[in-house]
Structure 1
Amino acid sequence: MRKIDSYAHILPKAYFDKMAEIAKDKGAIKRWLTIPVLYDLDARLKMMEDFPGYQQILTLSNPPIELIAGPEISPEMARLANDEMAKIRDAHPDKFPAFVASLPMNNVPAALEEMERAITVLGARGIQVFTNVNGRPLDDPDFWPIFETASKKYDVPVWMHPARGAGMTDYASEEKSKYEIWWTFGWPYETSAAMSRMVFSGFFERLPELKVITHHMGAMIPYFDGRVGPGLDQFGSRTSGEDYEGLLKRMKKRPIDFFKMFYVDTALAGGKSGIRCGLDFFDPKQVVFATDCPFDPEGGPMFLRTIPQAIDELNLPQDVQDGIYFGNALRLLKMNCC
């Protein structure tokens, strides 16, 4: 069966080498050095041979460009990443039918220029952002032109990936997060916080056609639907010093209905209950298949097995399953073939 992996990560070799050269904190790229499928295209193609019908939409892997390069260098890094992903797509269209553009988010004018080049010249099918830009929220007014341009001018989806490191502590008394809590639970929280900021700052009211694909099945939102629904129907009742109740009255929908406007993927490491929960909350037409390849204990192939197994065991109607595996991605990316 055809499967389009809408969130597969890559560090093209030329980009990877440049990233390793300029990265000030070698510890920040420690994990990436140990996963050949991430930067070795031949290793990736060999792995994919074991999965007939499997294709990948290429997205640049962590770390965010703006984390490793200042605003003077980040535009060059984004151009390199996008050029290399376009070359991979062109050389192997049967395996990689599309790629998503990376942007130098710490240089907004350059990000807008690169978005135009990547979409109109290279044929990128969307853009990727992270849940914060070196600690700044995505609803910072400086970043608004990026979302407005993606939605209004190009009508392309926005892939949103969590970004949170050990420096974001679990307790105020400590200097770093312990036991990789920053990743296991911090990333779902980070994604949920970014989604909330978009909802309450009016992203979907000002850009009703905006399509944001959230990684990991919408993070915490489906599981906490009661808090997001009836809980946020009481928005403002817990807060003084801010007119949140007035904001709630001005919103054109219930908060939970805005959260339902996000798109989500199945990259939950093979967890069947989480996928079921996500499908109960989001319209199945807004769910795309994704594996998070190659970030599994085997360095690539494990989630390509376990996530389809989890989806198949849900015994979904055939049209719903087809939509998740390939139909929704084709529609979202405006692709009719490949």
Structure 2
Amino acid sequence: MKIDCYTHFSFETYLKYLERNSKTPFSYGTLFRYLKTMLDVDSRLALMEKYQVDKHVIIPLPWIESVKEVYEDSVKAHEAAKILNNELANLVNKYSDKFIPVAVIPTTNIDIMLAEYERVIYNLKFKGIYLVVGPTVRPIDDSVYDSLFKKAVQDNVPVWLHPSRPITYSDYINESMSKYGIWQSIGWLMDSSTAMIRLTLSGAFEKYKGIKFIIHHHGALIGLFSKRLNAGFRLFKNLEAFKSTTTITEPFIEHFKNFYVDTATQGFEPLLIQNAYMFFGIDHVLFGTDVPFDENGGYNFTNETICSINSALISDADKEQIFYKNIVQILNLKVN
């Protein structure tokens, strides 16, 4: 069995809503309409059938923060979230055996944030929520999330995190835009890694006991640079000029193993899968592809991710855990 824990889907009604309310050209609309498997359910089902993927966990896109005029208006932010989450609920109602819903959450206003959480989790029966992280949005360790994370723990609801740095966040301060795709290719890995560090060192895993954060792109840079990170934590904690207070116990790097990570490597990368497996542990690695974001609408990423897992030096029993058993346990799914 295969359950893809990190895929994306969107809806024309939502794209049009964002376009109507954006004062600048909305590039995501052009991209999403180019990717047939992003908007067309039959195309998505054909992709799943080809690679024998039983279920897709859907993280709907684009995030509300992608349009400033919507994100900064609490009424519009909530309206956008309801449009997107309702469309996803309708999709899942029609194909409950194929799709598992994760909700977008508006974060502009704490009351609206909690209201939408309760609506999607208690009424629509979604399996999780997602938040975006990056330098242009609210820091993930901001106290505004306190009530949301407590509810997520109480309800055993996982929190997917997705990077969100836009092209307008430049590589250098004297420029107006990022060049050569740096904002996404490297920037998004930085965004996820920054969020992981901020959450961990601020004591999130101690404060919200049992919370489940699911990180995109195989855990970003943390597993790859765990030795460097740990050396830096140890060095800078004693230098007053660089000091940031943390109450967690040493070694700090061990606390990062509380994160769950997917296998979205965007290419044939068995060594990256092995690294995630070795650092985060077999119970915390989940099959995820980032469908449909390759030039063939997800066909490349699905094939390459499956091949990467199968080629990694991991036992067959552990591969089964990655392909479906871990996410089944996290979401308390019933499978045949």
Are 1:101 and 2:118 matched, yes or no? no
- Seen in structure 2, the aligned counterparts of structure 1 residues 156 and 335 have a Cα distance that, compared at 3 Å, is same
TM-score (norm. length: structure 2)? 0.92
1:175 — aligned with what? 176
Cα distance in 1 for partners of 2:250, 2:203 equals 11
* TM-score normalised by length of structure 1: 0.92
Among residues 66, 78, 81, which one is paired with 1:78 in the alignment? 81
Q: Does residue 1:254 correspond to 2:241, yes or no?
A: no
Q: 1:138 is matched by which residue type in structure 2?
A: I
Maintained 8 Å contact 1:66/1:133: no
Separation of aligned partners in 1, 2:259 and 2:52: 30
Distance 1:145 1:134, change over 3 A: farther
Look up the match of 1:313.
311
Where does the alignment leave 5 or more consecutive residues of structure 1 unmatched? none
- What aligned pairs does 1:65-214 form with structure 2 within 5 A after superposition? 65-68=64-67, 69=70, 70-96=73-99, 98-132=100-134, 134-151=136-153, 153-214=154-215
Q: Report the residue type matching 2:252 in the other structure.
A: P
Moved more, 217-226 or 139-148: 139-148
Q: Which residue identity lines up with residue 252 of structure 1 in the other structure? A: T
Give secondary structure in 2 for the equivalent of 1:297: coil
Q: Percent identity?
A: 32
For residues 17 and 48 of structure 1, what CA distance do their matches in structure 2 show? 27
Residue 52 of structure 1 pairs with residue 52 of structure 2: yes
Instruction: Flag the 1:301–1:235 CA change in 2: closer, same or farther, 3 A.
Output: same
Distance 1:24 1:334, change over 3 A: farther
Cα contact 1:66–1:106 (8 A) shared by 2 = no
**How far did residue 332 of structure 1 move?**
0.6
| Other structure's SS at 1:128 match | strand
Query: Residue 9 of structure 1 aligns to a residue in which SS?
Result: strand
Q: CA RMSD in A?
A: 1.8
Q: 2:293 corresponds to which letter in structure 1?
A: F
Structure 2 Cα separation of the partners of residues 119 and 205 of structure 1: 24
- Contact 1:205/1:252 (<8 A) preserved: no
| Aligned-partner residue type, residue 304 of structure 1 | T
The answer on whether the counterparts of 1:218 and 1:264 sit within 8 Å (CA) in structure 2 is yes
Report the CA distance between 1:174 and its aligned residue: 2.4
Partner of 1:325: 323
Aligned mates of 1:123, 1:133 — CA distance in 2: 31
Is contact 1:222–1:281 with CA below 8 Å preserved after alignment?
A: yes
Question: Following TM superposition, by how much is the alpha carbon of 1:253 offset from its aligned partner in structure 2, in angstroms?
Answer: 4.1
Structure 1 match to 2:289: 291
Return 16-25 or 209-218, whichever deviates more. 16-25
Higher helix share: 2
Q: Tell me how far 1:204 sits from its aligned partner.
A: 1.1
Matches of 2:92 and 2:129 in 1, distance apart?
16
Q: Residues 289 and 326 of structure 1 are in contact (CA less than 8 Å); yes or no, is this contact kept in structure 2?
A: yes
Following TM superposition, by how much is the alpha carbon of 1:33 offset from its aligned partner in structure 2, in angstroms?
2.8
Task: Return 5+ residue gaps in structure 2 as ranges.
Answer: none
Instruction: Give CA-to-partner distance per residue, 1:25-64, whole Å, 9 cap, x none.
Output: 32432322311211122222233232224310111123x2
- Separation in 1 of the partners of 2:325 and 2:274? 19
- In structure 1, give the amino acid aligned to 2:271: S
- Give the 3 Å change call, closer, same or farther, for CA 53–36 of structure 1 in structure 2: closer
How many equivalent pairs are there? 330
Q: Offset of 1:324 from its aligned partner?
A: 0.4
Q: CA deviation at 1:252?
A: 2.9
Q: Does the residue aligned with 1:57 lie in a helix, a strand or coil?
A: strand
**Is residue 106–residue 133 contact of structure 1 (8 Å, CA) maintained in 2?**
no
Q: Distance in 1 between matches of 2:236 and 2:149?
A: 26
Change (3 A) 1:265 1:37: same
Q: CA deviation at 1:315?
A: 4.2
Matches within 5 A, 1:203-242: 203-240=204-241
- Shift in Å, 1:243: 4.7
